[in-house]
Chains A and B, each alone.
Chain A
Amino acid sequence: MHVKYDLNKILAEIKEDEKVFEQKEHYWASQKEIQDLLKKMRKEKAAK
């Protein structure tokens, strides 16, 4: 069986995935998200 790959399509998909990944890692947090994160990290610290 012969499978034909479209390299350009694969590369475009990888690029799109990278973009989503970047946005997830570096997205700008809202003040509410920051306060929630603070509470969570303080709880974790207190539990140690």
Chain B
Amino acid sequence: MSDNKKIRVLLADDEVHIRVLMKRVLESMGVEVVAEAKNGQEAVDLYREKRPHMTFLDINMPLKDGTKALKEIKAEFPEAFVIMLTSLSAMETVKECIAAGAANYIRKDTPLNELKLFVKESWDEYRNSLKK
């Protein structure tokens, strides 16, 4: 994540304290949080408007859950880079999100250093896949 141009991020979580924490974590990685959504519908709308490089979606959100938002974003923008960041990790939901094209699925209780590593690895893999 050492590109000269900053990576633009959309962060979707209905809990404000998670958005504040994640914003700090992501900004410490050198990326810029350009939009924050508090529900799944807002996430889809903001994705269309801002076209971020990277999107973080919570699963359990009002109006539209993260799984539905992921599917809508990927249907419209197949190359979207989306990471699910959630406290729910039912194996069925994990499989559903990965099959729908999520770049990663990170539990919120993951230690921050590991979380950063997963984000970086997923981003590098995504960038490499675009070069192929």
Chain A residues with a Cβ under 8 A of chain B: 25-31, 33-35, 37-38, 41
Contacts and interface: CB of A to CB of B under 8 A. Distances in A.
B90 A34 contact: no
A31 B107 contact: yes
Interface extent on B, as a size class?
10 to 19
A35 B118 contact: yes
A35 B98 CA distance: 11
Nearest to B87: A28
A37 B106 CA distance: 12
Contacts of A28: 88-91
B94 interface: yes
B104 interface: yes
A26 to B, nearest CB: 5
Nearest to A38: B98
Contacts of A33: 91
B63 interface: no
Interface in B73-111: 88-92, 94-95, 98-99, 104-107, 110
A29 B118 contact: no
Given A37-B95, A37-B98, A41-B99, A31 B90 contact: no
B114 interface: yes
Between A26, A37, A38, the greatest number of chain B beta carbons within 10 A of the residue's beta carbon is seen for A38
Nearest to B109: A31
Nearest to B122: A38
Contacts of B89: 28-31, 34
A41 B118 CA distance: 16
A31 B98 contact: no
A21 B105 CA distance: 24
A11 B88 CA distance: 32
